[in-house]
Amino acid sequence: MSKTKEWRVPNFTFSTKPPQSVRADVLVLPIFEGLEPGPGVRPVRGVDLVALYEAAGNKGKRGEYLIVPNAGLDGVEASAILLLGVGKRDDAGPDACRRAIGKVARQLSKRARVATTLPQIAGRAFDEAVQATVEGVLLGAYRFDRYKSNSNDDTPKLREVAILGGARADARSARTAINRGQVIAESQMWARDLVNTPALDLPPAELAREAQKMARQVGLKAKIWSEAELKRGGFGGILGVGQGSVRPPRMIELRYENGSGAPIALTGKGIAFDSGGLSIKPADGMEWMKSDMGGAASILGAMRAIALLEPRLNVIAAIPSSENMPSGSAIRPGDVLTHRGGKTSEVLNTDAEGRLVLADALAYLAEQGPRAIIDTATLTGACMVALGDEVWGAMGNDRQLIRDVLAAGEAVGEPGWELPLYEPYRKLIDSEIADIKNIGKRYGGAITAAFFLREFVGDIPWVHLDIAGPAFSDRVGDYWPKGATGVPVRTLVRYVLLQAGTRRR
Ligand code: BES
Ligand code: ZN
Ligand code: MN
């Protein structure tokens, strides 16, 4: 079975034509909560659209929609109008666009030609809203049906989406925003595919092959570290975690070179499957742990988007991938591992494996002298307990970097929140016999995990994103089905694009 699918992506166009004169199967027009008509609604004559919408029991809440067939709509070329609730007028920004259109994306993909004025609700944030609308259309229609034997039944028919701007809109910047939205959404969908793919079909070597294939397609340099090379390089954490599995570990190294100066360094936790190892997890919910490479997938998705969007800077990624399994060859509680660079860790719980593989990758990246290091990881249940399933945790050693990444996340609708690296907690990972141990006590588990990682970055500005909550969803969201979300691809790409042109502090 092929592991990457090429999505059938519609063609997005931009135009400043009046909405009525656009030929389409459906014209999507926004309406605010409180039944205030959005851009394009009022000019339609022949029928009171708002009254129809209200009569069907709608209030304009985000995603509430009504399809009005064009039977006598004066001067309207489209075959139907879809009135789309977008929520409160005060919240009418890019995220409202992404969510509102995301909620009807499946409806839209039943038609061939769609047009919409939706981004006009965002006023001065028009370009950002165009990007978010494109993302919402694509991400909202995403399904993972590769393992359904009759998945052809509802193949998307959508071929063209016309984004309509007001008469004064800048077509060039709108088209740039369309392209950015398309690249980012496709990259995030690819990350979702990787995470949703069962671990059976995505061992470390296969993840590496997928990364290599992507790198070839978008023009990134790639080097896959084999088990033997990891041994020679002293990557004891990646090897130790992986030694209980018959499927050997890898490290995926990607380079994007398009500028001068120190690179931004990225890494992500790539545990193909986390059974817990000998400290085995309970059976209940263990199937979720195919998503324990969500950090790795987000970095791969971000690298894909970066390569296609071509910001003027350098980025290096080193992604560790092991499978955490219990067996006669697995590491035991009490074992000591030697990481890249020589630091040792005492493994008191084999289920705290993410930090063990990330330690090696962080040490390797720190050697490269980057301007900043960002890691993403489905690292701790504790972070989920603290922040719930939609907000990632941020911990790091550099105020500015933490602020920049949090701001990037907020801007793209992938919110994070900082947890403190409260220095007195550092001693919780002191070990009796090694440099550090891989667990603290139960309380503050997200923080002790981050302290463990901090040991390996030296004095390089670094931020760790614990995405255990938002990487995988047990319920349908506005623009994601159950399963992988691809968070935080959009955050990473936004951060990197903003850094292009920003010099090292
Ligand atoms: N991959 C898990 C964390 C996780 C749990 C992610 C649930 C998503 C959903 C991680 O490897 C893990 O097992 N962490 C342990 C650490 C503990 C043993 C110190 C945890 O959080 O319980
Ligand atoms: Zn894990
Ligand atoms: Mn674990």
Choose, from 175, 223, 255, 281, the residue flagged as catalytic: 281
Q: What is the pLDDT of residue 4?
A: 46
Quick one: 362 and 288 in the same domain? yes
Quick one: 131 and 251 in the same domain? no
Flag whether 239 is in a domain: yes
In angstroms, what is the span from residue 132 Cα to ligand 2's centroid?
31
Q: What is the pLDDT of residue 465?
A: 99
Name the residue at shortest CA distance from atom 5 of ligand 1. Answer: 381
Which of 131, 166, 201 is at the close of a domain? Answer: 166
> Residue 378 CA: which ligand 1 atom is closest?
6
Instruction: Examine the residue annotation and report whether 281 is marked as an active-site residue of this protein.
Output: yes
Kindly list the averaged pLDDT for each block of 10 residues, start to end, along the chain of length 505: 62 97 98 98 94 98 98 93 98 98 97 98 98 98 94 82 96 98 98 98 99 98 99 99 99 98 98 98 98 99 98 98 99 99 98 99 99 99 98 98 98 98 98 98 97 99 99 98 98 98 56
Quick one: 196 and 287 in the same domain? yes
Q: What is the pLDDT of residue 193?
A: 98
65-69 and 80-85 strand pairing: antiparallel
Flag whether 335 is in a domain: yes
Flag whether 63 is in a domain: yes
Q: What is the pLDDT of residue 46?
A: 85
Instruction: Examine the residue annotation and report whether 475 is marked as an active-site residue of this protein.
Output: no
Quick one: 298 and 161 in the same domain? no
In angstroms, what is the span from residue 412 Cα to ligand 3's centroid?
29
> Residue 353 CA: which ligand 1 atom is closest?
11
Q: How many domains does the chain have?
A: 2
Flag whether 282 is in a domain: yes
Quick one: 130 and 243 in the same domain? no
Which of 166, 201, 234 is at the close of a domain? Answer: 166
The position carrying tokens 């089905």 is 481
CATH number, domain of 68, equals 3.40.220.10
Residue 132 domain boundaries: 11-166
What single string gives the DSSP state of each residue in 307-347?
HHH--SSEEEEEEEEEEE--STTS--TT-EEE-TTS-EEE-
Flag whether 185 is in a domain: no
Quick one: 32 and 152 in the same domain? yes
Rg of the chain's alpha carbons, rounded to an integer? Answer: 24
Kindly report whether the global pTM for this prediction surpasses the value 0.95: yes
Flag whether 177 is in a domain: no
> CA 226, 230, 235, 236 torsion: positive or negative?
positive
Mutate to test the pocket of ligand 1, among 351, 385, 441, 464 (most ligand atoms within 8 A of CB): 351
Residues in contact with ligand 1 by the CB-under-6-Å rule are 274, 288, 292, 349, 351-354, 378-382, 384, 439, 445, 468
Task: Give the Cα separation of 199 and 323 in Å (integer).
Answer: 9
Flag whether 89 is in a domain: yes
Quick one: 409 and 478 in the same domain? yes
Which of 150, 166, 182 is at the close of a domain? Answer: 166
Whether residue 39 has a cis bond before it, omega within 30° of 0: no
Quick one: 248 and 156 in the same domain? no
Quick one: 208 and 98 in the same domain? no
